[in-house]
């Protein structure tokens, strides 16, 4: 039997923020009203997107509440605060949308997003998401392996990397408007990159939906990538270009703070961020920290990509 996200996640498993804080305050012996009814989680707002659950990609833990996954976001194109993307997400127009797939490929092509949706069958995969800021979520994504798209354009011999580019349009992304001396801003457009073998890895998901629905704007509509064994910022959103290349792409956060955000940025509890430990994380909805797993729990599948590499150097 195949189960959908909504079938496997009874509401009572979710811990509401208020219960969490009540519990925490009780622990702190301050006292608190622990008796509070959790509010019903609102349904995703976008159109439903049918997808077949892929049982090979599941997580034992319950998915994070949709409400949390769609209101607590890092998407600096909308602003630096976590609530900015949900608040300002309406300014993004995910249709019509095109994505240019080119570079070192035999058949470069600009795809309409509707075409992308039909290129391969949509699967639902439940992945762990680990932010570099030491919090994490469990999210049921909808999409298909990026390799399916890359095979369409046929990378040429000598191709080694893939670069992802997010839309640059200050009309749709308010935080891309010029700021005072560039303060509070990244170097737009946001770019990210993977080695070609990482991009072709079956875990790397070209993503168009989550929680049974199309991607909300604040989560990177209309299409993004999700690379579950790397810190969240590697999973670039609202893509307009995917370029195959032979040189390591420059990435947005690496340009902003090279000693803090490397090209690889694999989740690794043994390599600390210069300013904090990556050994533990706070799962959104939980009170105690939990241990961070090597490659975010995907070591069996991806560790071989890095055989012989010094992961402290290639952070």
Partner 1 sequence: MTARGRVALKTAVWLVALAPLAHLVWAWWTDGLTVNPIEYVTRELGETAIRLLLATLALTPIRLLFGVSWPITLRRLLGLFAFFYVTLHFMVWIVLDHFFDWRTMADDIAKRPWITVGVTAFLLLVPLAATSTTGMIKRLGGATWRRLHRLIYVAGVLGVLHYIWLAKKVLVQPWVYAALLATLLGIRAWTTARKLGGRWIVLGSRG
Site for partner 1, rule CB under 8 A:
16-18, 20-21, 24-25, 27-28, 39, 65, 67-68, 71-72, 76, 80, 82-83, 135, 183-186, 256-257, 272, 275-277, 280, 282, 284-285, 287-289
Contacts of 201 (CB under 8 A, 6+ apart): 147, 301, 302, 305
| Cα separation, 192 vs 104, whole angstroms | 17
Q: How far is the CB of 68 from partner 1 (least distance, A)?
A: 4
Q: How far is the CB of 211 from partner 1 (least distance, A)?
A: 15
Q: CB nearer to partner 1: give 250 or 287.
A: 287
Contacts of 198 (CB under 8 A, 6+ apart): 204, 227, 302, 305
Q: How far is the CB of 139 from partner 1 (least distance, A)?
A: 13
β-sheet bridge partners, residue 243: 102, 163
Q: How far is the CB of 279 from partner 1 (least distance, A)?
A: 8
Other beta carbons less than 10 A from residue 276's beta carbon: 11
Q: CB nearer to partner 1: give 65 or 243.
A: 65
Q: CB nearer to partner 1: give 64 or 204.
A: 64
What is the separation, in whole angstroms, between the first and last Cα of the chain? 41
| Cα separation, 232 vs 250, whole angstroms | 17
Q: CB nearer to partner 1: give 52 or 277.
A: 277
Q: How far is the CB of 158 from partner 1 (least distance, A)?
A: 35
Q: CB nearer to partner 1: give 77 or 123.
A: 77
Q: CB nearer to partner 1: give 110 or 280.
A: 280
How many helices, marked H, and strands, marked E, lie in the chain?
9, 13
Query: In which region does residue 94 sit, left (phi positive, over 0), alpha (psi from -120 to 50) or beta (all else)?
Result: alpha
Q: How far is the CB of 36 from partner 1 (least distance, A)?
A: 8
Q: CB nearer to partner 1: give 139 or 206.
A: 139
| SS3 labels along 10-27 | CHHHCCCHHHHHHHHHHH
Burial class (CB in 10 A: 0-12, 13-18, 19+), 114: exposed
Integer CA distances (angstroms), 313 to 36, 133, 159, 259, 262, in order: 48, 20, 24, 11, 9
Q: CB nearer to partner 1: give 13 or 256.
A: 256
Asked whether 113 and 223 are in contact (CB, 8 A), the reply is yes
Q: How far is the CB of 44 from partner 1 (least distance, A)?
A: 16
222 preceded by a cis bond (ω within 30 of 0): yes
Q: How far is the CB of 103 from partner 1 (least distance, A)?
A: 28
| Residue among 175, 158, 214, 187 nearest 78 (CA) | 175
Q: How far is the CB of 189 from partner 1 (least distance, A)?
A: 15
Q: CB nearer to partner 1: give 156 or 287.
A: 287
């Amino acid at each position: 039997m195949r189960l959908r996200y909504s079938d496997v996640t009874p509401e009572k498993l979710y811990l509401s923020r208020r219960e969490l804080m009540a519990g925490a305050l009780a622990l702190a012996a301050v006292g608190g009203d622990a008796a509070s009814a959790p509010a019903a989680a609102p349904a995703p707002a976008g159109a439903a997107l049918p997808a077949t659950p892929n049982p090979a990609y599941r997580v034992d833990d319950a998915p994070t509440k949709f409400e949390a996954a769609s209101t607590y976001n890092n998407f600096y194109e909308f602003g630096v605060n976590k609530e900015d993307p949900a608040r300002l997400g309406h300014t993004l127009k995910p249709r019509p949308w095109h994505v240019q797939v080119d570079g070192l490929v035999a058949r470069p092509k600009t795809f309409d997003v509707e075409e992308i949706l039909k290129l391969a069958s949509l699967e639902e995969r439940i992945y762990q998401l680990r932010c570099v800021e030491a919090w994490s979520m469990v999210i049921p994504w909808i999409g298909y392996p990026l390799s399916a798209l890359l095979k369409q354009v046929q990378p040429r011999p000598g191709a080694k990397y893939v670069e992802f580019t997010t839309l640059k349009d200050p009309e749709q992304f308010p935080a891309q408007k010029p700021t005072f001396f560039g303060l509070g801003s990244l170097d737009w457009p946001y770019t990210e990159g993977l080695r070609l073998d990482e991009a072709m890895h079956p875990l790397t998901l070209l993503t168009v939906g989550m929680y049974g629905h199309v991607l909300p704007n604040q989560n990177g509509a209309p299409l993004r990538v999700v690379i579950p064994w790397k810190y969240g910022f590697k999973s670039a959103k609202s893509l307009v270009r995917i370029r195959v290349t032979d040189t390591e792409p420059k990435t947005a956060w690496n340009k902003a703070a090279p000693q803090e955000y490397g090209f690889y940025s694999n989740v690794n509890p043994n390599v600390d961020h210069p300013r904090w430990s990556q050994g533990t994380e706070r799962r959104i909805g939980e009170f105690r920290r939990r241990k961070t797993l090597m490659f975010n729990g995907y070591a069996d599948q991806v560790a071989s990509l890095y055989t012989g590499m010094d992961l402290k150097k290639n952070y």
